[in-house]
Amino acid sequence: MSLGKDLKILDYSKEEENMPREIIQPKGVVDPRPRFAQVVKHGKLIYIAGQTSVDANGNLVGKGDIEAQTRQVLQNIQKCLEAAGATFDQVVKINVYSTDLDAHLAVIAKLRQEYFSKGPVASTTVQVPRLVYPDWLVEIEAIAVLD
Report the predicted TM-score, pTM, of the whole model to 2 decimal places: 0.87
**Does the pLDDT at position 147 exceed 50?**
yes
CA distance 51 to 42: 19
- Nearest-10 Cα torsion for 41, 67, 96, 75: 0
Q: Tell me the per-residue pLDDT of 106-139, one tens digit each, with 9 for 90 and over.
A: 999 999 999 998 989 999 999 999 999 999 999 9
Question: With contact defined as beta carbons under 8 Å apart, do 16 and 43 qualify?
Answer: yes
Model confidence over 51-70: pLDDT tens digits? Answer: 999 999 999 999 999 999 99
Query: How many CB atoms neighbour CB 58 within 10 A?
Result: 11
Q: Evaluate if residue 3 carries a pLDDT over 50.
A: no
Indicate the DSSP class of residue 133: S
Cβ atoms within 10 Å, residue 17 = 8
- If you average pLDDT over residues 80-102, what whole number do you get? 98
Give me the CATH code for the 20-145 domain, please: 3.30.1330.40
pLDDT at 16: 54
Give 66-114 as a DSSP string.
Answer: HHHHHHHHHHHHHHHHHHTT--GGGEEEEEEEES-HHHHHHHHHHHHHH
